[in-house]
Structure 1
Amino acid sequence: MGTDTPSVLIVEDEPDLANLYAAWLESEYDVETAYDGDEALAAIDETIDVVLLDRRMPGLSGDTVLETIRERDLDCYVAMVTAVEPDFDIVGMGFDDYLVKPVSKDELFRIVDQLLLRSSYDEQLREFFALASKKALLDAEKSEAERESSQEYAELEDRLAALRVQVTETTTELLEDGKYRQLCRDIGSEPVLEE
């Protein structure tokens, strides 16, 4: 994901509404707007952290834009912000969250903040499991005396301990304010690897 200030791309075919969303969010985020699907696909790249995407637009629909984002394997979160009531067709769609219009300023901030928090959680978990794997390998291959005399191993243990605290704090924050259901969905959507 992008720079220190998170970036949000608003994809909305009603310019007044897109500009309103942008005005709401620009105090906290780098905001770009796209007024149709083609503009969205031209604007989105690896610097975009969150996409707020309308489903029903002339030309390329939001559904098509979403499919293209996922096919490009871009590292961003996508929230559908749309007047289209959800139906069973959403089951196979690759979005991260769904808001039905009209939406308030608070709802937009909440969804962007939540998606960015999930991003932080994902990155923390990725690093934690990578380091845990390295520790397990060293535990299996090196003697206790070798591990105790290694500065690198001590730093690895320190970093793992610090990450464990960060993951716990982030998990606690995700569980607050009714985010438990989303965390369970995230965990449940992880692919199961067969041995």
Structure 2
Amino acid sequence: MSSDAPPTILAVDDEPSLTALYEAWLSDRGDVLTATDGTDALELAEDESVDAVMLDRHMPGMTGDEVLDELRDRGHECPVVMVTGVDPDVDIVAMPFDEYLVKPVGRDEVRTTVDTVLSRRTYDEHVREFFALARKKAVLESTCTDGTLTASDEYHELTVEFDAARERANTARDDVLEDGFEELALHHG
């Protein structure tokens, strides 16, 4: 996507009324494509340059989880927002999404979340990874009991990955700041 072209957002849900609603809510944010099943979603992702995906987890046929895995297997690195009625559990740790919203969702929440993931596309890969892991951690901590999290190997692995990603993101930030100061010194020195 060029910087002046509007982003393309793919909204996938087996309820056509929801995809129509997402399209209405996001039409001023970019071009919105809609699909009501996983197969159509994958075809649209192949045919179009998709900048962000809103994806329901519970769909007949191909689930949102399967669509997400297939998108990643095909090399699509665009941000994915899971928008679903499925309450998250530690099973989300291994899922390569960027944000997780539990239905029902409102207009402002959807718009803010899409704006956020679209803006993150410009971030360093380490910073994007940190935000994705931070979101998973926050979702789990707000929906699971402390006992469930303490007993979960997946959650423990997530916290280890989160700490490592935070270090990589901090290093990337420091490198950018250092490069920026060196560039300023070269031009003003």
Q: Scaled by the length of structure 2, what TM-score is found?
A: 0.65
Q: Which one has a bigger Cα radius of gyration?
A: 1
The one-letter amino acid paired with 1:8 is: I
Secondary structure of 2:58's aligned partner: coil
Alpha-carbon distance between aligned partners in 1 of 2:2 and 2:88, rounded to the nearest angstrom: 30
Secondary structure of 1:16's aligned partner: helix
Q: Which residue of 1 aligns with 2:45?
A: 44
Alpha-carbon distance between aligned partners in 2 of 1:56 and 1:188, rounded to the nearest angstrom: 31
Alpha-carbon distance between aligned partners in 1 of 2:167 and 2:22, rounded to the nearest angstrom: 29
Secondary structure of 1:44's aligned partner: helix
Q: Which residue of 2 aligns with 1:119?
A: 121
Long gaps (5+) in structure 1: 126-173, 175-180
Alpha-carbon distance between aligned partners in 1 of 2:166 and 2:71, rounded to the nearest angstrom: 22
**How far 1:75 sits from its partner (Å)?**
2.8
Preserved CA contact (<8 Å) 1:52 1:81:
yes
**How far 1:190 sits from its partner (Å)?**
5.9
The one-letter amino acid paired with 1:59 is: G
Q: Which residue of 1 aligns with 2:18?
A: 17
Equivalent residues in 2 for 1:71-82 (5 A)?
A: 71-82=73-84
**How far 1:187 sits from its partner (Å)?**
3.8
Distance 1:39 1:50, change over 3 A: same
Q: Which residue of 1 aligns with 2:34?
A: 33
Alpha-carbon distance between aligned partners in 1 of 2:118 and 2:58, rounded to the nearest angstrom: 25
Distance 1:74 1:189, change over 3 A: farther
Secondary structure of 2:124's aligned partner: helix
For each residue in 1:66-113, what CA deviation from the matched residue of structure 2 results, as whole angstroms up to 9, or x when unmatched? 000110111311010000000010001111110000111111111111
**How far 1:2 sits from its partner (Å)?**
6.1
Q: Scaled by the length of structure 1, what TM-score is found?
A: 0.63
For each residue in 1:10-42, what CA deviation from the matched residue of structure 2 results, as whole angstroms up to 9, or x when unmatched? 000000111011111112211000000111011
For each residue in 1:141-180, what CA deviation from the matched residue of structure 2 results, as whole angstroms up to 9, or x when unmatched? xxxxxxxxxxxxxxxxxxxxxxxxxxxxxxxxx9xxxxxx
The one-letter amino acid paired with 2:116 is: Q
The one-letter amino acid paired with 1:10 is: A
Equivalent residues in 2 for 1:1-195 (5 A)?
A: 1=1, 4-45=5-46, 47-122=49-124, 187-188=165-166
Runs of 4+ in 1 over 3 A off after TM superposition: 184-191
| Identity across the alignment (%) | 48
Corresponding residue pairs, total: 136
Alpha-carbon distance between aligned partners in 2 of 1:18 and 1:67, rounded to the nearest angstrom: 21
Long gaps (5+) in structure 2: 138-161, 170-189
The one-letter amino acid paired with 1:121 is: Y
**C-alpha RMSD over aligned residues:** 2.8
Alpha-carbon distance between aligned partners in 1 of 2:167 and 2:109, rounded to the nearest angstrom: 24
The one-letter amino acid paired with 2:124 is: D
